A and B are shown apart, each in its own frame.
Chain A
Amino acid sequence: MNLNQKQSEALKKFAPQIESFSRPALVWVYFLLIPMALAAYALYIQVVDGHIVTGMRDNVVWGLYIANFIFFIGISYAGAVISGILHLLNVEWRKPIIRVAELITVIATIIGPIYILLCVGRLDRLHHLVIYARLQSPITWDVFAISTYLFGGLLFLYLASIKDFAIYRDATELKLQGWRRRLYAALALNYQDTPEQKKSIAVSMNLLSIMIIPLAIIVHSVLSWIFGMTMRPGWHSTIFGPYFVLAAIYSGTGVLIIAMWIFRKVYKLTDYLQDKHFINLSYIMMTLAAAYGYFTFSEYLTDWYSLEKWNGEVIAKLFDLKEYGWWFLFANIAGILLPILVVAVPKLRQPNIITIAASLMVIAMWVKRYLIVVPTLESPLFPIQDTRTEFVHYSPTWVEWALTLGGIATFLLLFTLASKFMTIVSVSELESEKHA
């Protein structure tokens, strides 16, 4: 492919990023391997000794793992919905951020379901999910929905990267090993930038953009229905579907902002990931924060007003500072009020401050997922009988924390490796920018 001046400049800028691992990058990778090794040891302990090494027991059967699962699937929305919508609306400023968003989607969708596997006690019966699948079960819906979503995410990322692969293949100025150039050639599918090929990819991208948005909504709705379809207090709610979807897009936006900030700093991409990208995304974040706040208020007000015994028990736990009160406060202040405040005040609309707000919001959203899962299981619909106190109250063990940290480290490692395999800003999109 022939490169125009803008592409050549971009390629020159990104060349060190994809040509080799710098010393700091290697140190970073080794650093990530430490929590991953700890997680591997924790997994070994869990497999050998069984789930007794976790804090999960007969009553509180879900804990950190499920909270992590919802969190990772949630942040995968960054690419699916945000980049999908921005692509369909042909928003021009999306182009430098779309690659980051798509990578978040794929990597988070790979890591999220791993926590389900960690939570399942009998992995040797995993195939039963398929061979004994009951279509009436939300678990079955989830298996099909997430695998379909992951495939769609991969396809979306691949489609958006074909032009770039062709550029890497043909760029003689890039110092790449032979195998990498051959790999790029294979992935580029003989793309020569002919009008037919351009049109074909554009049609496919549009098709997939249309498809990926409802698919992502279905996936997170299905995820919420695992909770919503049960009669448990705090879960059995008709707004859980849209509530989960909104929370997912919201946390995905936050992670996208954080990832952009990190790449901008590390690879010095101020020219590409500009302040306007942060500010535009912060507007989206603020709008979602307001909508999420409305859903949260509506959800708890309805539960509180009806004051059904078991719902009241869960709400009392969330409001009690001796139980989950502080976490609940943090989840709502950092998760709702702070992003709105930061974006509402013009002086605070700066990439660093927006990223701080997004970081706290993402942590708050994780805490929120924990608060959805655990307090409800500690307050079952039927009174707990014949059980020990430690079965009723859940405390995560070091094994669960180690595997949680391992998941985060794996997410960061895959992101790092991906950024070494392809430019973090789509070079081919820069080409089309001049036509826009």
Chain B
Amino acid sequence: MSLKDKIRKLTDLIFLGLGLVLCCFPVLGQDDQKEKAPEKAKPRIGLVSTQINGDSIVLEASVKVKSDGWQPVDFVSVKFNVSNDSITLPLGTALTDEKGVASIKVGVKQLITGEDGLWMFGSVFEGNETVGEGEAELIIKAAEMTLSGEKQDTIYNVTLRLLIPGMDNLPIKDTEVGLYVKRHFSNLKIGEGTTDENGEVTIECPEDIPGDIHGNIVLIGKAEDLEEYGSVAAFMQKPWGIPLPEAEHRVTRALWSHSPPLWMVIVFAILMTTVWGHYFVIIYKLIKLRNPKIQNP
């Protein structure tokens, strides 16, 4: 066998090897080592509620594990339920966010109460590969906040009333409440007070708050973390803000408008016409080609 043949044979073998390597081309970005499963951490589950406008409740469950302080467990599933002595009614499931908080909103009408009229909520985290299971319970009474607003002379007043819904609508006295206005990122606190013997407090609303184009603002009354009722809140929209001028929508030729800049249209038209024009000329010549006697243009 000559040297040339040997080289040729060797390179053929290399090609065979290359083919095998190609077939077994490893998967990009995938871990090829199985990590040893760590011991599961014990979670701390918290459960709080906010009763809104007397018709719905927002339940928020937090999932945390101890690791250099309490760290949130994000994007895990938490199940919510409400129960009494005889049955447990599932309310839904939600994923925790990056702060480890999962929340759902439920209507009051779909809830069941115990014999004492209390709501007994539960949140259950069933655990995952790294975090063990855990659950929390919350027992609260129904409460309702109402908001009403009126203009007295030149002053806007908001009256917050906190009560226990039912036949008697019993007031909830001596409770600290706050008045907020909804803003883009969070709520802006504009006043606070304590409910009187009627469960009421009146708070003045500033008149220089920017609203939407119609001057509407959303007012929020809130009593937070009450021992028996959890948080209680109410929303109300009023046209008490300063109307914002509507943004001008001038339609101009621009990169961001509906119409492209003129130069772009011209360049595009020239390019497409030139190329497709040539294509059509060639196609025309091909059609003429069928007659071998005719000289093409």
Contact between A152 and B279, CB atoms less than 8 A apart: yes
Given contacts A207-B281, A350-B11, A388-B74, contact A197 B22 (CB under 8 A): no
| B70 located at the interface, meaning its Cβ lies under 8 Å from any Cβ of chain A in the complex | no
Given contacts A352-B12, A394-B29, contact A159 B260 (CB under 8 A): no
Complex alpha-carbon distance, A360 and B285, angstroms: 43
Q: Mark B95-121, 1 if CB is under 8 A from A, else 0.
A: 001100000000000000000000000
Contact between A191 and B292, CB atoms less than 8 A apart: yes
| A190 located at the interface, meaning its Cβ lies under 8 Å from any Cβ of chain B in the complex | yes
- Give the interface centre of A136, A162, A192, A203 by most chain B CB atoms within 10 Å: A136
Complex interface: stretch among B77-85, B220-228, B263-271: B263-271
Residue of B25, B260, B291, B293 touching A136 (CB-CB under 8 A)? B260
Q: Mark A45-72, 1 if CB is under 8 A from B, else 0.
A: 0000000000100000000000000000
Residue of A162, A199, A388, A396 touching B27 (CB-CB under 8 A)? A396
Chain B residues positioned under 8 Å from A394 (CB to CB): 29
Residue of B7, B18, B291, B295 touching A190 (CB-CB under 8 A)? B291
Summarize A's interface: helix, strand, loop or mixed.
helix
| B130 located at the interface, meaning its Cβ lies under 8 Å from any Cβ of chain A in the complex | no
Q: Classify chain A: how many residues form its interface, as a range.
A: 35 or more
Contact count A vs B, C-beta below 8 Å? 103
Given contacts A327-B28, A395-B30, contact A151 B279 (CB under 8 A): yes
Chain A residues positioned under 8 Å from B275 (CB to CB): 148, 152, 211, 215
Query: B residues engaging A (CB < 8 A)?
Result: 7-8, 11-12, 14-15, 18, 22, 25, 27-30, 74-75, 97-98, 255-256, 260-261, 264-265, 268, 271-272, 275-276, 278-279, 281-283, 285-286, 288-296
Contact between B75 and A388, CB atoms less than 8 A apart: yes
Contact between A190 and B290, CB atoms less than 8 A apart: yes
Q: Mark A189-212, 1 if CB is under 8 A from B, else 0.
A: 111101011011101100110010
- Besides A136-B261, A352-B7, 13 other A-B contacts (C-beta < 8 A): A148-B272, A152-B279, A155-B282, A159-B286, A190-B289, A190-B291, A190-B292, A196-B293, A215-B275, A327-B28, A356-B15, A363-B22, A370-B28
| A401 located at the interface, meaning its Cβ lies under 8 Å from any Cβ of chain B in the complex | yes
Contact between B11 and A207, CB atoms less than 8 A apart: no
Query: What would be 5 A-B contacts, judged by CB atoms less than 8 Å apart?
Result: A135-B260, A203-B285, A204-B286, A356-B18, A396-B30
- Give the interface centre of B268, B283, B285 by most chain A CB atoms within 10 Å: B285
Contact between B28 and A396, CB atoms less than 8 A apart: yes
Chain A residues positioned under 8 Å from B265 (CB to CB): 135
Contact between B290 and A189, CB atoms less than 8 A apart: yes
Chain B residues positioned under 8 Å from A385 (CB to CB): 98
- Give the interface centre of B11, B28, B271 by most chain A CB atoms within 10 Å: B28
Complex alpha-carbon distance, A192 and B276, angstroms: 28
| A134 located at the interface, meaning its Cβ lies under 8 Å from any Cβ of chain B in the complex | yes
**How far does the Cβ of B255 sit from chain A's closest Cβ, in whole Å?**
5
Contact between B27 and A401, CB atoms less than 8 A apart: yes
Residue of A with least CB distance to B278:
A211
Contact between B8 and A135, CB atoms less than 8 A apart: no
* Contact residues of A between 117 and 140, Cβ < 8 Å to B: 134-136
Residue of B with least CB distance to A351:
B11
Contact between B278 and A393, CB atoms less than 8 A apart: no
Residue of A with least CB distance to B257:
A136
| A218 located at the interface, meaning its Cβ lies under 8 Å from any Cβ of chain B in the complex | yes
Query: A residues engaging B (CB < 8 A)?
Result: 55, 134-136, 144, 148, 151-152, 155, 159, 162, 189-192, 194, 196-197, 199-201, 203-204, 207-208, 211, 215, 218, 327, 350, 352-353, 355-356, 359-360, 363, 367, 370, 374, 385-388, 393-396, 401
Chain B residues positioned under 8 Å from A203 (CB to CB): 285, 296
**How far does the Cβ of B3 sit from chain A's closest Cβ, in whole Å?**
12
Complex alpha-carbon distance, A353 and B11, angstroms: 7
Complex alpha-carbon distance, A196 and B292, angstroms: 7
Residue of B25, B30, B268 touching A135 (CB-CB under 8 A)? B268
Contact between A374 and B29, CB atoms less than 8 A apart: yes
Residue of B with least CB distance to A194:
B292
Chain A residues positioned under 8 Å from B8 (CB to CB): 352
Contact between B289 and A208, CB atoms less than 8 A apart: no
Complex alpha-carbon distance, A382 and B260, angstroms: 27
Chain A residues positioned under 8 Å from B29 (CB to CB): 55, 374, 393-396
Complex alpha-carbon distance, A387 and B8, angstroms: 55
Contact between B294 and A208, CB atoms less than 8 A apart: no
- Give the interface centre of B265, B281, B282, B285 by most chain A CB atoms within 10 Å: B282
Chain A residues positioned under 8 Å from B22 (CB to CB): 359, 363
Chain A residues positioned under 8 Å from B74 (CB to CB): 388
Chain A residues positioned under 8 Å from B278 (CB to CB): 207-208, 211
Contact between B285 and A200, CB atoms less than 8 A apart: yes
Complex alpha-carbon distance, A350 and B281, angstroms: 43
Residue of B with least CB distance to A151:
B279
Contact between B289 and A200, CB atoms less than 8 A apart: yes
Complex alpha-carbon distance, A194 and B294, angstroms: 10
Complex alpha-carbon distance, A197 and B295, angstroms: 8
Complex alpha-carbon distance, A374 and B29, angstroms: 10
Complex alpha-carbon distance, A196 and B295, angstroms: 6
Complex alpha-carbon distance, A388 and B74, angstroms: 8
Residue of A with least CB distance to B30:
A395
Contact between B282 and A148, CB atoms less than 8 A apart: no
Contact between B268 and A159, CB atoms less than 8 A apart: no
Chain B residues positioned under 8 Å from A363 (CB to CB): 22, 25
Complex alpha-carbon distance, A116 and B295, angstroms: 44
